[in-house]
């Protein structure tokens, strides 16, 4: 089985991913894979340059993320185009990584860590969905605190994703991360036992 781990911005998904990793889960991080598929010499980088031009490269021939960001941030069409170019490569690499992990250990608990799992309609690609949840008021406070944002800026970032309450409806498991780390750890331990049984 492949489990999908998701959450909203500032819900603590990375913390939960780390707790699962410490218990032996194989975490395949979509953000990390997205960086790997545009390394120099990759097909991904070639596709990006062919579409957006050489101005998205730095002097060393690597992807200049701020330059690409300034193009796609203000242009919905360009952002969609970038997703169309890279999404199949990211998915292919994630499947490959999962297969490698499974060959190394047939009982490995494989977790795809995907921030926009639900928004990108990727739920059919995983067997079950794990959601890291905090109420929106806590999400807002944590985001303002962590990124030194005004309330307005933080609200805009939260609004760019599907609402956390709506995400709950997609979840097979919910880890409520609004309490202490110890409370989260207890929930993760129960989850881990469950996932291990399912994969046993």
Separation between Cα atoms, residue 127 and residue 172, nearest integer Å:
9
E strands along 83-187, which residues?
110-113, 128-133, 173-176
Calculate the alpha carbon distances from 40 to 36, 49, 110, 179 in Å: 9, 11, 28, 42
Residue 11 assigned as binding residue: yes
Calculate the alpha carbon distances from 10 to 33, 111, 174 in Å: 21, 19, 15
Residue 10 assigned as binding residue: yes
DSSP per-residue codes, 91-112: HHHHHHHHHHHHHH-TT--EEE
Residue 14 assigned as binding residue: yes
Separation between Cα atoms, residue 20 and residue 191, nearest integer Å:
9
Beta bridge mates, 100: none
Buried/exposed 152-182: b ≥16 CB within 10 Å, e otherwise:
eebbebbeebbebeebeeebebbbebeeeee
Residue numbers belonging to the annotated binding site:
10-15
Residue numbers belonging to the annotated binding site for ATP:
10-15
């Amino acid at each position: 089985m492949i489990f999908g781990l998701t959450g909203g911005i500032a819900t603590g998904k990375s913390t939960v991913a780390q707790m699962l990793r410490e218990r032996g889960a194989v975490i395949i991080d979509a953000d990390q894979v997205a960086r790997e598929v545009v390394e120099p010499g990759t097909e991904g980088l070639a596709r990006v340059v062919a579409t957006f031009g050489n101005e998205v490269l730095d002097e060393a021939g690597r992807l200049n993320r701020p330059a690409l960001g300034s193009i796609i941030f203000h242009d919905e069409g360009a952002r969609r185009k970038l997703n169309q170019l890279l999404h199949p490569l990211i998915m292919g690499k994630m499947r490959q990584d999962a297969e490698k992990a499974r060959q190394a250990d047939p009982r490995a608990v494989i977790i795809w860590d995907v921030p926009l799992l639900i928004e990108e309609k990727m739920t059919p690609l995983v067997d079950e969905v794990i959601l890291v949840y905090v109420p929106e008021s806590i999400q807002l406070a944590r985001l303002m605190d962590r990124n030194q944002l005004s309330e307005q800026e933080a609200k805009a970032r939260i609004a760019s994703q599907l609402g956390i309450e709506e995400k709950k409806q997609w979840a097979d498991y919910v880890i409520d991360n609004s309490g202490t780390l110890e409370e989260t750890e207890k929930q993760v331990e129960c989850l881990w036992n469950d996932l291990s049984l399912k994969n046993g």
